[in-house]
A and B are shown apart, each in its own frame.
Chain A
Amino acid sequence: MVPLSWYVALSAMMFVTGLVGVLIRRNIVVVLLCIEIMLNAVNINFVAFSDYLHLIDGQIFVFFVITVAAAEVAIGLGIIISLFRLRESVNMDDYNLLKL
């Protein structure tokens, strides 16, 4: 048996990888991918704890997360395409509309 702590450690590493990617990468497509990595880190946690506690709830949540992630990718890519049309760029630094 692989102990629970390994799963949690793996999940934490994946999450930090995704988070750092989101924070430092400039390419918006990569940022979107990093968000997927973070979501899957959460999925690993869910599954690990579901097995550990002998509760099925965590696995059900994983399906929800996968569904949401799929929807998010669909919408996110749509937004990226329209942003690209608007700015001729996939660089995050060009998307500064929030600034006055």
Chain B
Amino acid sequence: MMPILLIPLLPLLGFLIVGIFWPFFKGKGHLVALPLVTLSWAIATLEFFKSFSAPPSLTLVYDWIRSGHLDVGISLQYDHLAAVMLFMVTTVAMLVHLYTIGYMHGDSGYDRFFAYISLFTFSMIMLVLSDNLVEMFIFWEAVGLCSYLLIVHWYERRPSWLAANKAFIMNRVGDFGFLLGIFLAYTVFGSVRFAEIFPAIGSHLHQSVNLAAVFRGSWNVPVLDVIALLLFLGAVGKSAQIPLHPWLPDAMEGPTPISALIHAATMVTAGVFMIARMNPLYNAAPFALHVVAWTGAITAIVAATIALTQPDIKKIVAYSTMSQLGYMVMVCGLGGYGAGIFHLLTHGAFKALLFLGAGSVIHSLSGEQDVFRMGGLRKYVGLTFATMLIGSLALSGIPPFAGYYSKDLILVTAYQQGPLGQMLWLIGVLTAVLTAFYSFRLLFLVFGGKERFHSEGQGHAVHPHESPFTMTIPLLVLSIATVFAGWAGEHYGILQYLSQELPIPPVKEAAGGFSENALKGLSVVGALFGILIAWILYGKESSIPAALARNLSFFYKISLHKWYFDEFYDAVFVRPSFAIGRLFWQELDKGVIDGIVNGVAYFFRNSGGSLRRLQSGQIQNYAMAMAIGAFGLVAFYLFFNRL
């Protein structure tokens, strides 16, 4: 199938052209990158609409590794799950390419930036199209690399490269688990291809593996659970789930377009996508599913509580991303993979919208990110305000916007999965209230109230201005998507569409439970309640927030300091690592190794210095030494052999 091959190849071509010839573009890199990505998007859209009737296809591009039983090909597996993902990824990628033209205008790394986002688009498309675990891992790493390269775009700034390193290292922890999961899957199934693993799962249901074998102990656990959990560790890193999440908010040091593309809409959802793709395995691993569900739920609520008090506009949106990812992971853990992917898609639209809107706000204030130094922007950047309002309504789950359909589908699915599901549903509803609160806190602080941006005695006056049309067009398109995506998804039956790969979980008996409509009504009321609180606290100037922060200072500090995760990791991992590094550097490297190397050199230099005095250059001295030696040898011979 040629057209499907073109979807990843066009962005790759864009990367190669802009990446290799970047010195010649001089700020015109978008002329190559944008049309190619747009073409890729057009093909992806066409194929998406064709996929309703066409059967799934599998294209082998080339055999990569063929050794013994190991058979790894670079293949394109195009089915319904891949189709919707591709549609979302290419749409957001195209809009972000367009947005970047305005946002990064005049940046010294403009063309490099375009090269990298094209490379990212290619990698993400290939990740979605993978037909085996190794191929998926390669592109899983490739998107991680692109994320690193783009976070560190402004590499002169210390926070940028610190954040990039943090993202890269934290993801390594998760990827290590992912890799071990692949190894174990290959050991157990003898293949890394999904099409060969999934049918074989049934015959390994009762197989167990002894995890304590190295210590000559005996700790047998079901092998499928182990594989699922190891793979999930990769998803925890990539999708910023607790405890491997702190890199995501820090990654906001990168330029805003990549926050929207990579750290909201596409790359961070790769973990959810992987779980959905591996759903036959997870369905056969009940314990792993419990872990997945709880991790997601805890992430959702913890991230929401952190977002309540953050002052940085991008970090608020970042924590809300983390919280929404928690929702998706949670519902996957309850077997509702289709609901998770549906939320992933709508979230891709409205979260990209919120990030691009936040970028537009930052752009209009020439780089200001603190929401307490904004305010009253509504009349300056009306279009941005309107689109961000739509995004926030969608995020809060207010009908008829996208978030309402997908988030309520998640909550309903959770509620229908028995007692565990209902417990997690409660967490989900609580999170929804918090979500509505912090979204509108952001809106009120940024767009409502008094203008605080020129009251802080800055050197120059700030003149807020609406962003250029290259930045507002993506906002408009994404707003339209945000308005209609949820309705379209439900109206055209996305769950049935996805049920080709993602089975719909059966409804379990819920004793004395609510009906589906009551559940939806309840979460909408919860969201409205959250908005109301945000209005009371931040709608107009009031002293309540400050008073709350004083009286509940314990909770306030926990939220403001992000539950002290950074401090904890700093104390447990970072500082000891630095201490060990310093020890090895100062003591082992400089002391022992340099001591040996320099000692050898000193020995030969000093002994040579002494011996060189023998070389007088006087030939008679040498001849004397020779004569004495010859006499000595003869004398030795005479005395010891003759006598």
Residues of A within 8 A of B (CB): 19, 22-24, 92-93, 95-100
Contact = CB atoms under 8 A, between A and B. Distances in A.
B624 interface: yes
Contacts of A19: 627
Contacts of B612: 100
17 contacts: A19-B627, A23-B620, A23-B623, A23-B627, A24-B620, A92-B618, A92-B620, A95-B619, A96-B617, A96-B618, A98-B615, A98-B619, A99-B615, A99-B616, A99-B617, A100-B615, A100-B617
Contacts of B624: 23
A30 to B, nearest CB: 12
Interface of B: 612, 615-620, 623-624, 627
A99 B616 CA distance: 6
Given A98-B619, A99-B618, 7 more contacts: A23-B623, A92-B619, A96-B618, A97-B617, A99-B617, A100-B612, A100-B615
A22 B615 contact: no
Contacts of A24: 620
Contacts of B623: 22-23
A92 B622 CA distance: 13
Contacts of B620: 22-24, 92
Contacts, number: 27
A94 to B, nearest CB: 10
Contacts of B619: 92, 95, 98
B519 to A, nearest CB: 95
B621 to A, nearest CB: 9
| B interface secondary structure, majority | helix
A93 B620 CA distance: 9
B618 A93 contact: yes
Nearest to B612: A100
B611 to A, nearest CB: 13
A96 to B, nearest CB: 4
Contacts of A100: 612, 615, 617
Nearest to B621: A23
Contact of B617 (A22, A23, A98): A98
Contacts of B615: 98-100
A97 B619 CA distance: 10
Contacts of B616: 96, 99
A49 to B, nearest CB: 18
Identify the 10 closest CB pairs spanning chains A and B, nearest first: A99-B617, A96-B617, A98-B617, A23-B624, A23-B620, A23-B623, A92-B620, A19-B627, A96-B618, A22-B623
A97 B618 CA distance: 8
Contacts of A92: 618-620
A91 to B, nearest CB: 11
Nearest to A99: B617
A95 B617 CA distance: 8
A72 to B, nearest CB: 16
A99 B613 CA distance: 10
Nearest to B628: A23
A92 B623 CA distance: 13
Nearest to B616: A99
A55 B618 CA distance: 42
Nearest to B615: A99
A39 B153 CA distance: 85
A24 B618 CA distance: 11
Query: Which has the most chain A C-beta neighbours within 10 Å: B612, B615, B618?
Result: B618
A98 B616 CA distance: 8
A39 to B, nearest CB: 15
B373 to A, nearest CB: 74
A22 B618 CA distance: 12
Contacts of A97: 617
A50 to B, nearest CB: 23
A24 B617 CA distance: 15
A92 to B, nearest CB: 6
A24 B620 CA distance: 7
A93 B612 CA distance: 18
A98 B614 CA distance: 12
Contacts of A98: 615, 617, 619
A95 B619 CA distance: 8
